[in-house]
Amino acid sequence: MALIFQNFKKQRVILGDGAYEHIAEAHPEVTLDQIKVALEDPDEVRASSYREDSELYYLRRTKQRYICVVVKVCVDGIHIATALTTTKPKVGRVLYKKGT
């Protein structure tokens, strides 16, 4: 059963079973609560430089660690592709930055 979140633009974001299983197995350090906060109150959102249909939501966890939630914007809705930790935001056009 899919989980439904809401992003900072009040849009519905779907976490399907397959993506949830992938995150749980490959990136167990990322929790559902962290995904929720990254979507609702991100520090930064960037357009993916690799996939034009994807956006990367970043939530700073420590000075050198971020949670990154990758979402695909499709005609049938916004879907979470994966979530992981990273040391810095990837290259890509900044769509949103908290505090600016």
Cα 70 to Cα 48: distance, rounded to the nearest angstrom? 9
37 closest CA partner among 8, 62, 12: 8
pLDDT of residue 44: 97
pLDDT digits (tens, 9 = 90+) for 56-100: 999 999 888 999 999 999 999 999 999 999 999 999 999 999 987
- Reported confidence tier of residue 1, pLDDT bands at 50, 70, 90: confident
Residue 89 is predicted with a pLDDT of 93
For the chain, give the mean pLDDT.
95
pLDDT given at position 67: 97
| Residue 100: predicted pLDDT | 77
Nearest-angstrom CA–CA distance, 53 and 40:
20
Residue 97 token pair? 């930055």
